[in-house]
């Protein structure tokens, strides 16, 4: 399955007419700018959230904002907008772009400062909210499944930096993503220093064996995904046993089913890992059922852009 990019089109063309929120103002995308002295640019010093909009419902918005503000506390970063007001910023950005379905990127940087590392010399963080359309994987991959590889690049050691903080520094993930691309795959699994499977480059990992579902625990240094937690909830509602426990490549290779979850990717089957078919090499029944259950709830579990048009669940 080729992961070759299409370089024939301008990747920024779809965003030219967007309205972007930046530091208290809604401006045309072409006018939205961050200082070249911003520590988010210079050092990856900042945080972000990727959020989905389905049929006018900002999916799990409050959970995303909780994680954003937790990430800020971990980095000792003060977000200059109170959480209730940030909720409205996200919704208003979607409204101004006339969206009912799309992807939202909410970014908080340390802000401009000196060219040294000292974050206390950055007097005010910057906040950016972008709302646009997105399609991470082509439709056929949701129907037929992904082929992935295990990257040689290991996940950042939790003692160095806890990946539960969704920071702007994604170089570790990008290096593994390059490995997947070079192997002709759209995604790659990442292991920790002990050889346990932690997550994919941008998604959480689930296995199914004998009807039992497992996913790596967040104490191992992976992101606690909003979609991950929701899929766990859906699986338990459907009567499945779900365990958070360490997994190795042995468990991956011998699983009946494997799937990934993430805000952009939603839930997507994996049918081959390192050249080894997972189960019968096709998306399994539990995976398909959970994808269907997830899609059935996306337009109701969250915050409505126009509350008068729908009842929030």
Q: Rounded to an integer, what distance in angstroms lies between the CA atom of residue 198 and that of residue 292?
A: 25
φ, ψ (nearest 5 deg) of residue 243: -125, 135
Q: Which of 72, 58, 84, 76 has the alpha carbon at shortest distance from 108?
A: 72
Q: Which residues, 6+ apart, have CB-to-CB distance to 276 below 8 Å?
A: 253
Are residues 273 and 252 in contact, defined by beta-carbon separation less than 8 angstroms?
yes
209, 298, 52, 245 alpha-carbon torsion, rounded to 10°: -20
> DSSP letter at 159?
T
Sign of CA dihedral 56, 59, 61, 64: negative
For 156, the enclosing helix (H) or strand (E) is: none
Are residues 306 and 56 in contact, defined by beta-carbon separation less than 8 angstroms?
yes
Catalytic residue among 9, 166, 272, 282: 166
272 counts as catalytic: no
Q: How far is CA 123 from CA 36, 127, 284, in A?
A: 15, 13, 52
Q: Which of 260, 252, 254 has the alpha carbon at shortest distance from 291?
A: 260
Q: Rounded to an integer, what distance in angstroms lies between the CA atom of residue 224 and that of residue 155?
A: 15
Catalytic residues: 166
């Amino acid at each position: 399955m080729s992961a070759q990019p299409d370089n024939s089109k301008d990747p920024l063309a779809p965003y030219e007419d967007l309205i972007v929120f930046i530091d208290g103002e809604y401006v045309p995308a072409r006018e939205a700018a961050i200082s070249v002295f911003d520590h988010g640019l210079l050092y990856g010093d900042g945080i972000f959230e990727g959020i989905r909009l389905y049929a006018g419902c900002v999916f799990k918005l409050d959970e995303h904002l909780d994680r954003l503000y937790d990430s800020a506390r971990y980095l000792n970063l003060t977000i200059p907008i109170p959480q209730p007001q940030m909720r409205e910023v996200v919704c208003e950005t979607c409204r101004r772009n006339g969206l009912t379905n799309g992807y939202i990127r909410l970014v908080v940087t340390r802000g401009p400062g000196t060219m040294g590392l000292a974050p206390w010399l950055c007097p005010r963080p910057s906040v950016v909210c972008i709302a646009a359309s997105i399609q991470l994987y082509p439709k056929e991959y949701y129907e037929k499944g992904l082929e992935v590889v295990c990257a040689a690049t290991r996940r950042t050691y939790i003692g160095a930096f806890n990946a539960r903080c969704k920071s702007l520094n994604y170089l570790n993930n990008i290096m593994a993503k390059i490995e997947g691309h070079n192997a002709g795959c759209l995604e790659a699994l990442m292991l920790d220093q002990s050889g346990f499977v932690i997550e994919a480059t941008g998604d959480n990992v689930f296995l199914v064996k004998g009807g039992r579902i497992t996913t790596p625990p967040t104490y191992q240094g992976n992101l606690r995904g909003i979609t991950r937690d929701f899929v766990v909830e859906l699986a338990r509602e459907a009567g499945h046993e779900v365990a958070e426990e360490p997994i190795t490549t042995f468990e991956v290779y011998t699983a009946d089913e494997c799937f990934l979850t993430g805000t952009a990717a939603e839930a997507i089957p994996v049918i081959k890992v390192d050249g080894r078919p997972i189960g019968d090499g096709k998306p399994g029944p539990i995976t398909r059922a959970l994808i269907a259950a997830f899609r059935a709830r996306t337009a109701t579990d969250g915050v409505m852009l126009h509350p008068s048009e729908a009842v929030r669940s």
